[in-house]
Amino acid sequence: MLKDLIDGFREFRRTNFRHQRGLFRTLAWAGQKPKAALITCCDSRVDPTLIFAAQPGDLFVIRNVANLVPPYKPSEDYHGTSAALEFAVRELGVESLVVMGHSLCGGVAALTHDRSQSNSDFISQWVSIADPALEQVRDVTTPGEPLDLPTLERAVVKLSLNNLRTFPWIAAMEQEGKLSLHGMLFDVGAAELHILDEASGGFHPIPQIRPRLRSTSLPSIPLSE
């Protein structure tokens, strides 16, 4: 695997870096000024830079298991996601915060498993952040029926958005119109992006733009007089 990483780095040097040498030098000298911060899952199938065709320096990406945002709760514990949010909002001044879930999320699926006998050191406690979303979906599920994973994935995105608003400086900036919050869900297999409409609570797919077909008809040629 190390060889694959080294080969990939050499390919990066040969292609991307070679073509964008000036951009990398500018970023190194001027620092980063991303417009948006994305809270998304650390799943290897979900690459925000690839999904949004972003350039280096465009996105501040915060990744964790199941794209969860914990409630605002300062303490002497270690708070990786909260620290990254504080840096993005208060230091970098991003204009948008986006929570992006994805289909077939293993972290969200872990919510539905029996965690009482788990030998996990960290994951069980981490995903418990989403227990309110789990209870919400259970309340609308017919007893005896399995929980619908896509519904739960969407509920987790909404919960993370609600938790973002428990951070006082995020809530204040949103109210002042200096920061916008958005929810999304990426369908891995279909490469579809669904946007949350918070007014209705529904997720709506972004319409795909069909490429224009080139005309195969021959241009008209005026007859000579």
| Measured distance CA(117)–CA(29) in Å, rounded | 51
**In angstroms, how far is CA 199 from the centroid of its own chain?**
20
Q: How confident is the model over 41-59, as pLDDT tens digits?
A: 999 999 999 999 999 999 9
Q: How confident is the model over 140-172, as pLDDT tens digits?
A: 998 888 899 999 999 999 999 999 999 999 999
Closest CA to 38 of 74, 70, 81, 72: 81
Cross-strand pairs, 60:
37
**In angstroms, how far is CA 11 from the centroid of its own chain?**
26
| Measured distance CA(179)–CA(170) in Å, rounded | 7
Q: What's the confidence (pLDDT) of residue 213?
A: 58
Q: What's the confidence (pLDDT) of residue 60?
A: 98
**DSSP 8-state secondary structure symbol assigned to residue 42:** -
User: How far separated are the first and last CA of the chain, in Å rounded?
Assistant: 73
Which domains does the chain carry? Answer: 31-205 (3.40.1050.10)
Q: What's the confidence (pLDDT) of residue 33?
A: 95
Average pLDDT over residues 80-104: 98
